[in-house]
Structure 1
Amino acid sequence: MAILEGEGKCFTSGIDLKMMMGLGAQIEDQCEGRMREALRAVIVDLQDTLSSLERCRKPVLAAVHGACIGGGIDLITCADMRYCSADAYFSIKEIDIGMVADVGTLQRLPRLIGEGITRELAYTARRVEAPEARKIGLVNRVFGTREELGAGVREIAAAIAARSPLAIRGTKEMISYARDHTVADGLNYVATWNAAMLMSEDLQKAMMANMSGQAAEFRD
């Protein structure tokens, strides 16, 4: 299990403007084409850094307190689940600095909250407070305080960790795959997956635990 949390008064404060200002020197080249190629490589590398959360074999839970701005939205949309405290707020801020969000928000967020509300938030950069974030499906649950958020997310993580790691990994894989494929493709994939993974020691342990009423212990 992995839990994403922020330190200090907020989850994320947005893009590092100093880093943005230094991009020119980083990609400088006498050839215009090569300079643009280098900039594209920087963007693709940043995209891959966040996409690694989706590729992670274990579920990733985001616990958001305070501000979650700009790149923070890109980050949490890669997580399996999102939770926040009552003081949290969210903003797709890139439009306010004259750029297009380019590391995942515009691709993943419509699948979470719908295209219409994504367009509104991306075009206006307005704040979404915790109650609205829950209402539109951006977060699964709102906790009263940061302390309650931390405790609640860890309780959820512990409940997941008690299950078969092999089954959890397969479930994550199937949900992620289904998002980007047809129902028929997803059914075909899960049939192949279970043909390979179903007859495991985890299955036997889980069945015995259910019959005995005792908790099962699984290998990673």
Structure 2
Amino acid sequence: MSFKYLIPHHYLKIFSRTISISKNDRPILKDINLIEVKPKVFNVELNRAKQMNTFTPEFWFELKSAIKYLSQYSGCRSIVLSGAGKSFTSGIDLKEALSQVSDLLNDPKIDVSRKSRTLMSIIGEIQDCYTIMEKCPKPIISSIHSYCIGAGVNMICSTDIRYVSKDAIFSIKEVDVGMAADIGVLNRIQKLVGNDSLTRELSLTGKDFNADEALRLGLISKVFDNKEDCFEGAVETAKLIADKSPIGVQGTKMVLNHARNHSIEESLEFVKIWNASQMLSEDLEIAAKRFFTKKQIPFNDV
């Protein structure tokens, strides 16, 4: 049973809404731009530019809706995640978040246990907004410029490839507001990077780190001169991915995700079963024809 049935519904607000999107229903979005920038390549652009793309419950819900739609839409094969305006994202909207938490904590009608369950449910809903990106079968490339703070770092750790402009500034900021980061970064970043000491230093101090440090840490893979070049680079890579077999691409992402969280033996068993069920597709024949004829024969959508 979901916690939302055990707790006062008015504190869950937007989080209690369910997403029911068919393959043909494009979601109605206010603060997210959803644009096909190249054939089968979609840009999900955070568009609360005046608010530095800070996250609110409604903003999280829109992001989740957009990613779920693209996950199901066969006309999408890769995704570029970017931010409008001067900043990629400055993290959570602290004013709204603190107001909502304060209202809950100071409500005399709700006991401590039920307040805790409310918070657990809200945290879980936000976690799901990023987990759905990780589980999306279409590869997601983050195009990051300027500030990527708190919830933003949590978010990009759920994406597959991370590109930045050289002015990018990161911070795992939650420790500075008296809490442990709880929506993904502490759970994912150590599986993404190779420097445990630096990861702990940045997480425990909350200090800013720049593009060069992020590259050294292994959090990102490319640094560009500016926002525009970064976005173009992300789109170029997304287009390269979109031109390949969707069976091969989506299978590769699933196997990589599985291998990261399982033993080698378990992941070998997984890929054995996966390929036994998927290698009989027409894509294998088309890929062979492309190789021998040097022609860009298109793959069918999945």
Normalising by structure 2, we get a TM-score of: 0.71
Task: Find the aligned partners of 1:30 and 1:38 in 2 and give their Cα distance.
Answer: 10
Show the counterpart of 1:144: 225
From 101, 118, 141, the equivalent of 1:23 is 101
Give the superposition deviation at 1:14: 1.8
Provide Cα deviations, 1:108-156, integer angstroms capped at 9, x if missing partner: 0111123222110011111111112112111110011111111111110
Secondary structure of residue in 2 paired with 1:211: helix
Contact in 1 for aligned 2:150/2:172 (Cα 8 Å): yes
Show the counterpart of 1:60: 140
Contact in 1 for aligned 2:104/2:115 (Cα 8 Å): no
Higher helix share: 1
Secondary structure of residue in 1 paired with 2:158: coil
Task: Find the aligned partners of 1:112 and 1:128 in 2 and give their Cα distance.
Answer: 17
How many residue pairs get matched? 220
Contact in 2 for aligned 1:4/1:63 (Cα 8 Å): yes
Show the counterpart of 1:208: 289
Confirm whether residue 47 of structure 1 aligns to residue 127 of structure 2.
yes
Task: Find the aligned partners of 2:125 and 2:96 in 1 and give their Cα distance.
Answer: 15
The within-5 A match list for 1:130-169 is 130-169=211-250
Contact in 2 for aligned 1:106/1:118 (Cα 8 Å): no
Show the counterpart of 1:175: 256
Query: What is the percentage of aligned positions where both structures have the same residue?
Result: 39
Q: Letter of the aligned partner of 2:86 in structure 1?
A: K
Task: Find the aligned partners of 2:155 and 2:171 in 1 and give their Cα distance.
Answer: 13
Secondary structure of residue in 2 paired with 1:181: coil
Give the superposition deviation at 1:26: 5.0
Provide Cα deviations, 1:149-182, integer angstroms capped at 9, x if missing partner: 1111111011000100011110000000000000
Show the counterpart of 2:37: none
Q: Between 17-26 and 78-87, report the one with greater CA deviation.
A: 17-26
Show the counterpart of 2:169: 89
The within-5 A match list for 1:96-111 is 96-111=176-191
Secondary structure of residue in 2 paired with 1:78: coil
Task: Find the aligned partners of 2:185 and 2:239 in 1 and give their Cα distance.
Answer: 28
Contact in 1 for aligned 2:91/2:150 (Cα 8 Å): yes
From 250, 262, 276, the equivalent of 1:195 is 276
Confirm whether residue 125 of structure 1 aligns to residue 232 of structure 2.
no
Secondary structure of residue in 1 paired with 2:133: helix
Show the counterpart of 2:87: 10
Q: Letter of the aligned partner of 2:92 in structure 1?
A: I
Contact in 2 for aligned 1:66/1:88 (Cα 8 Å): yes
Task: Find the aligned partners of 1:111 and 1:185 in 2 and give their Cα distance.
Answer: 17
Contact in 2 for aligned 1:85/1:144 (Cα 8 Å): yes
Q: Return structure 1 stretches of 4+ with deviation > 3 angstroms.
A: 26-29
> Larger RCO: Structure 1 or Structure 2 (Cα < 8 Å, ≥ 6 residues apart)?
1
Q: Letter of the aligned partner of 1:76 in structure 2?
A: I
Show the counterpart of 1:74: 154
Task: Find the aligned partners of 1:137 and 1:86 in 2 and give their Cα distance.
Answer: 15
Give the superposition deviation at 1:25: 2.7
Contact in 2 for aligned 1:5/1:11 (Cα 8 Å): yes
